[in-house]
Chains A and B, each alone.
Chain A
Amino acid sequence: MEKHLICIMCPMGCNLTVKEENGEISVTGNGCNRGVVFAKEELTCPKRIVTTSVKTKNGVKACKTTAPIPKNLMFDCVKEIEKLRLKDAKFGQIIIKNVLGTGADVIVTANE
């Protein structure tokens, strides 16, 4: 099996070719080792960092997951964040610990 992917680990966007033979995954076209990690994960369990906003008393504040979470949980993660109404939100503050059991926290990223 051969698959073509674009690496999303950095803005370089390397064109990756991933081959799977006898359970062995090989990656070519990567500019650095993060491309190999990305390609292997993309075939087994694709993950993404989720960035969205959380409601506060006066409006909304930007937030993100501290690590990539499984792609199929992105919408559920946004729903979890939508349930919150924060009184106050400081830069870097954890607003959900271990969101959906993924191991990633959700933190406030707004520049204030």
Chain B
Amino acid sequence: MVTDVVVIGGGPAGMSAALSASRTGAKVTLVERDEVLGGILNQCIHNGFGLHFFHEELTGPEFAYRFRKMVEGDKNIKVLTSTLVTKIEDKKVEFMGKNGVQEIAAKAVVLAMGCRERTAGNISLCGTRPAGIVTAGVAQKMVNIDGKMVGKDIVILGSGDIGLIMARRLTLEGAKVHAVFEINSTSSGLRRNIMQCLEDFDIPLFFNTTIFEVVGKDRVEGVFYGQVDENFRPIESTRKFLKCDTVVLSVGLVPEMYIAPNATICKTTGGAVVNEFYQTDKEWLFSCGNILHVHDLVDNVAIEAEQAGEFAGLFTLGKLPEHSKTLFVQAGEGVSYVLPYSLFEGQGKVTLKLRLKEKVVRKTLVAKCGANILGKKFILAGVPGEMMSFEIEKNGATDKIVVGIE
């Protein structure tokens, strides 16, 4: 098989990238391991999606449905579902699908495989490993897709968005959610989710608190929990016991890069290092969506992937703008990462995406090249849990750009 662009992953990023790549005139093959396109959206049955992209509030499956219909209606996109990519090497994608193991030769490959949840092992959760320890996404799939409950008395570790959403979902399904523990002093979830998922149901959220130990032989019987100090070490004097049968983990997401070729990885995001065209250090390999960096909102994933897909399409047609001098972009004071990691010297505006290291109130975000100020943005209140976009002027930048809080 031969095509111009292979997009790997049929979630919101992959579908959006496939559509925009196709609009450039390139031939696209979209590969998805599940039976149906949509990715994680299919199990995110809550509302709150689509406000930026479709200017309408949708649930996850509805958002996926709209994209799927557009993809299926596009003659330039060939969709391969129930197909698992096993290798990506030198513009060749090897996959296993309905007709066995096959290979597609492409001119460009877009990585859009999303992210994975961190597990009990990833966070070195102490105690036993009985049944009843699940990640929030697994709990979500069990309840919303398989129609099975995970337990009756629930404790949630971590206040990421999926954990908050599942607190509400499990409560509506008749379970008692006793508490949400967050090891940090702020939540990594959206403020609106704390309000409509926890406060609406009187579910307590404890900050600077974590599970010290899980107790139980065959099934979870409870947890020892308590406060942590500034180095996240347990304060033993605060140790308490809480009876429960289920521990739901919402402790972060990691880009799913294990199948990707040896692209340079950013240690902070866990995703590939890309330039302003979303190219990795292999010029034919593009990356976007949650495999590049974990987003808060699917709308932002779709918008980012739309850009990346267009660049990938243009690349295969030889229409990508000439690379001029590379200007590296560096995270400065108070900023944990900035994307893209480099720009090309030239004119015009470019939108950077970044996350803060810690909560800031009434500070200014500044992008500088030497003493030259390329952009400023006032932050009324910003938290690490919410990704920020920052428009800067490229004009005047001739060297490394530093983005930081002043």
Task: Give the CA-CA distance A49 to B49 in the complex, in Å.
Answer: 13
Residue of B nearest to A15 (CB): B381
A40 part of interface (Cβ distance < 8 Å)? no
Contacts A15-B381, A55-B147, A111-B42; A6 near B65 (Cβ below 8 A): no
Asked if B36 is at the interface (CB within 8 A of a chain A CB), the reply is yes
- The A47-91 residues at the B interface (CB cut-off 8 A) are 48-53, 55, 59-60, 62-64, 71, 74-75, 78, 91
Q: How many angstroms from the CA of A110 to the CA of B46 in the assembled complex?
A: 11
Alpha-carbon gap, A111 to B68, bound state (A): 9
The distance in angstroms between the C-alpha atoms of A50 and B299, with both chains bound, is: 21
Taking the closest CB of chain A, its distance from the CB of B16, in whole angstroms, is 15
Report the separation of the CA atoms of residues A8 and B48 in the bound assembly, to the nearest whole angstrom. Answer: 9
Q: Does residue B296 face the partner (Cβ distance < 8 Å to A)?
A: yes
Min Cβ gap B41→A in Å is 7
Contacts of B61 in A (CB 8 A): 62, 109-111
Closest B residue by C-beta to A46: B200
Q: Could you say which of B186-194, B314-322, B393-401 contacts chain A?
A: B186-194
Q: Are A111 and B62 in contact (CB under 8 A)?
A: yes
Cβ–Cβ < 8 Å partners of A103 in chain B: none
Interface presence of B119 (CB below 8 A): no
B144 and A7: CB pair below 8 A? no
Interface centre among B45, B143, B194 (most CB of A within 10 A): B45
A5 CB contacts on chain B under 8 angstroms:
195
Per a CB cutoff under 8 Å, which of A8, A51, A71, A111 touches B41? A111
A49 and B197 CA atoms in complex are apart in Å by: 12
Question: Known contacts A51-B45, A109-B45, A111-B42; is A59 also within 8 Å of B146 by CB?
Answer: yes
Distance from A37 Cβ to chain B, minimum over Cβ atoms (Å): 13
Q: Roughly how many angstroms separate A112 CA and B45 CA in the complex, as a whole number?
A: 13
Chain A residue at smallest Cβ distance from B201? A74
| Cβ-defined contact, B192 with A60, below 8 A | no
Q: Chain A contacts of B36 at CB under 8 A?
A: 111-112
Range for the number of chain A residues in contact with chain B: 20 to 34
Q: How far is the CB of B290 from chain A (nearest CB, A)?
A: 16
A10 at the binding interface (Cβ < 8 Å): yes
Cβ B172 vs Cβ A78 within 8 A: yes
C-alpha gap A112/B194 in the complex (Å): 30
CB of B350 closer than 8 Å to a CB of A? no
Select which of A11, A48, A53, A75 is within 8 A of B45 by beta carbon.
Answer: A53
> Do residues A13 and B172 form an inter-chain contact, with CB atoms below 8 A?
no
Interface size on B, residues (CB 8 A): 37
Cβ A62 vs Cβ B45 within 8 A? yes
Cα separation A49 to B56 with both chains bound (whole Å)? 14
Instruction: Say whether B172 contacts A11, CB under 8 Å.
Output: no
| A111 to B70 Cα, complex, angstroms | 13
* Residue B235 interfacial (CB < 8 Å): no
Report the separation of the CA atoms of residues A110 and B381 in the bound assembly, to the nearest whole angstrom.
Answer: 36
Cβ–Cβ < 8 Å partners of B372 in chain A: none
Residues of B within 8 A of A75 (CB): 172
Q: Which residues of A contact B200 (CB under 8 A)?
A: 48, 71
Per-position 1/0 for B178-209, Cβ under 8 A of A: 00000000000011101110001000000000
Contact across chains for B172 and A62 when beta carbons are under 8 A apart: no
B297 at the interface (CB under 8 A from A): yes
Q: Does B102 contact A (CB under 8 A)?
A: no
* Interface assignment of B59: CB less than 8 Å from any CB of chain A: yes
Residues from chain A with Cβ under 8 Å of B37 in the complex: 111
Q: Report which of B47, B64, B147, B194 forms a contact with A51, defined as CB distance below 8 A.
A: B47
Q: Which of the residues B62, B65, B144, B194 comes within 8 Å of A60, measured between beta carbons?
A: B144
What is the distance, in angstroms, from B162's C-beta to the closest C-beta of chain A? 14
Which among B60, B192, B195 is the interface contact of A11 at CB below 8 angstroms?
B192
Measured in the bound complex, the distance between the Cα atoms of B36 and A63 in whole Å is 18
* Cα-based distance from A22 to B266 in the complex (angstroms): 56
CA distance in complex: A78, B175 (Å): 13
Which residues on B are within 8 Å of A, measured CB to CB? 36-38, 41-42, 45-48, 51, 57, 59-62, 64-65, 68, 143-147, 169, 172-173, 190-192, 194-196, 200, 296-297, 299, 381
- Given contacts A60-B145, A111-B61, could you give 14 more A-B pairs where the C-beta distance is less than 8 Å? A5-B195, A6-B191, A6-B194, A8-B195, A8-B196, A11-B48, A49-B57, A51-B45, A62-B61, A109-B61, A111-B37, A111-B41, A111-B64, A112-B36
Give A residues with C-beta under 8 Å from B. Answer: 5-8, 10-11, 13, 15, 48-53, 55, 59-60, 62-64, 71, 74-75, 78, 91, 109-112
5 contacts between A and B (CB under 8 A): A48-B196, A63-B45, A74-B172, A109-B65, A111-B64
4 smallest beta-carbon distances between A and B, as pairs? A60-B147, A13-B191, A62-B45, A111-B61
